[in-house]
Structure 1
Amino acid sequence: MTSTDGEERMSDQPTDTNNTTGPQAPNGPGYAAQPPAGYGYPMAAPLPSGKATASMVLGILGLILIPIILPIIALCLGISAKRMADRGEGGGRGQAVAGIVMGIIGIVFAAIGATVATIQAVGAF
């Protein structure tokens, strides 16, 4: 069908009065842009494992109370907990490292104490 001013108009196609070119996108007017799937809130960090907590506590107690046995146990538990945390099987990597450090310090203090006690015992004879 031809109009009087030279423009063709088809009668079976709807006229577009709002100048839109199809259905509105989900993020159209009035809607905030949605992040892509998988980019939501970050996941919470895993809780510390019991080994990591025990390592840190035994490291602290090894420095204060029993400087021979507890630092060795703290060092072993700390290494095990750190490996677990590195593999992603649990959290508490920082506690495990603290247990390792305090275990090493406790072992060094125990070795120094044993050396000093031995020197004093030998010097007494």
Structure 2
Amino acid sequence: MTDQSGSAGGAAGTQAPGAYPEGVPGYGAQPPNGYGYPGGAPLPTGKATAAMVLGILGLLLVPIILPIIALCLGISARRMADRGEGGGRGQATAGMVMGIIGCAFAALGFTVATIQAIGGV
């Protein structure tokens, strides 16, 4: 039933049960443009992932060559992430840090081996 004002509730200003006021989206309605994040965070690049993996392997398996590669890849991937060419800034930083630690351990190992070789003669 509609009254003279044209509203379906019978009295002016009332609405049918379950009806939403104008401007409020109901179920299944899409949010307006500009709501939330447009595309999500950019995905990590292969360089960032490789830097992190090589940094981990450099600490565990090959502490001479892999940390240097991890450090170089980490620096490159972090610069790419800073320019907005890809994501994975955290992975690149992790690869850089583990590369630095691996290089420090390798240098310490060479120093200890050299001291032992000189003192053992």
Match of 1:5 in 2: none
Residue 120 of structure 1 and its aligned partner are, at CA, apart by 0.2
Residue 51 of structure 1 and its aligned partner are, at CA, apart by 0.2
Match of 1:4 in 2: none
1:32 aligns with 2:24: yes
**Which protein shows a greater Rg?**
1
Give SS of 1:54's match: helix
1:73 aligns with 2:65: no
Instruction: Extract unaligned runs of 5+ from structure 2.
Output: 6-19
TM-score (norm 1): 0.72
Runs of 4+ in 1 over 6 A off after TM superposition: 33-36
Match of 1:122 in 2: 118
1:98 aligns with 2:94: yes
Residue 54 of structure 1 and its aligned partner are, at CA, apart by 0.2
Could you tell me which of 69, 75, 79 is aligned with 1:83? Answer: 79
- The number of aligned residues is 99
Q: Distance in 2 between matches of 1:71 and 1:87?
A: 24
Could you tell me which of 38, 41, 45 is aligned with 2:36? Answer: 41
What is the one-letter code of the residue matched to 1:110? A
Instruction: Extract unaligned runs of 5+ from structure 1.
Output: 1-16, 19-27
% of aligned pairs identical?
72
Q: Distance in 2 between matches of 1:60 and 1:30?
A: 56
Q: Distance in 2 between matches of 1:29 and 1:95?
A: 47
Q: Distance in 2 between matches of 1:84 and 1:92?
A: 9
RMSD (Å), alpha carbons:
2.0
Residue 35 of structure 1 and its aligned partner are, at CA, apart by 7.5
